[in-house]
Structure 1
Amino acid sequence: MKKLLLSLTLLFSFASFGQTINGIPIKDLDVQYLQIIGTSKMLSSKLTIAIDIGQRTKLFSSNTDATLLKDENGEGIIFNSMIDALNFMSANGYNFVTANIITVGGQNVYHYLMVKKV
């Protein structure tokens, strides 16, 4: 009974949240590939996740503002780790392809390529 209750709670939580990129729900994105970009937060073990789907960004706007994964309140979603982000994207219809880690200014930036499940 506990497992059923836990499963329903998790299912409801995924269905009730409207995770979007540029206002478009993740499952409705019309792209085959996307890239997860994870940047660690200062003095924290959590990550800010941006999603690159090849969208245009304004010249003087911050790139992460347009690509930040947002919840139903328009707030950026914070993940505990890249595995947390991978599990989230897998639940939303994407498979992992490859990963790269780049160090910028002493900070690791994670790039994970994903492909839409067929």
Structure 2
Amino acid sequence: MGKCLFVLCLLFSVGNVYAQQRYYCEVKGVEKELSAGLKIIFDFGTKASYNIWGNLSSQLKFVDDKGEEIKFNSMVDAANYMVERGWKFQQAYSSLYSGNSIIHWIFFKDAANMEEAKEGIITKAEYQKMKSEQDY
């Protein structure tokens, strides 16, 4: 009886492991054009990050639970934000685009779905949608 129970528990735990999928996020640091520092961009591969003028869409900027925009001071600040939400660092590399250096850091998280992977991460658009639904 004990062996059967152990085997059943083992089978259920293995099933849960396979139910999860690995999700990735690319954190990009792009030099600001007219000021010092980096513009930090989070790319989950689900929506375009830029508007037609090449700027980060204000609707995709991250906000806290009060709707205030979160400003990142550096790539390390952005990395700490991701790690606090369960993401793991995988790889870093750099590239050049139109003479500008771009820093790329890749993070991953195992989760059942993208919503679970992004738990604790809210964009301005998501916050506004959530607030409008609460008002009804």
Q: What TM-score range do you get, normalising by the shorter chain?
A: 0.5 to 0.7
Distance in 2 of aligned mates of 1:67 and 1:39: 19
**Could you say what secondary structure the match of 2:83 adopts?**
helix
Q: 1:67 to 1:109 in 2, by over 3 A?
A: farther
Corresponding position of 1:71:
63
Query: What is the CA–CA distance in structure 1 between the aligned matches of 2:55 and 2:28, rounded to whole Å?
Result: 11
Identity of aligned residues (%): 29
Which 4+ runs in 1 deviate beyond 6 A?
none
Per-residue CA deviations over 1:3-23 (Å, capped at 9, x if unaligned) read xxxxxxxxxxxxxxxxxxxxx
Root-mean-square deviation (CA, aligned residues, Å) is: 3.2
Structure with bigger helix share is 2
Helix, strand or coil: the match of 2:40? strand
Q: Determine the structure 2 residue equivalent to 1:55.
A: 46
**Normalising by structure 1, what TM-score?**
0.56
CA distance 1:93–1:63, shift in 2 (3 Å):
farther
Q: Does 1:85 align with 2:61?
A: no
**SS of match in other structure, 1:85:** helix
Counterpart in the other structure of 1:99? 92
Q: Number of matched residues?
A: 87
Q: Which runs of 5+ in 2 are unaligned?
A: 1-20, 112-136
Name the aligned partner's letter for residue 109 of structure 1.
I
Q: 2:47 & 2:59 partners in 1: Cα distance?
A: 10
Cα separation, 1, equivalents of 2:106 and 2:73: 19
The structure that has the greater radius of gyration is: 2
Quote the residue 1:6 is aligned against: none
- The code of the aligned residue for 2:71 comes to I
Q: Cα gap change, 1:82/1:54 in structure 2, threshold over 3 Å: closer, same or farther? A: same
| 1:108 to partner: Cα distance | 1.4
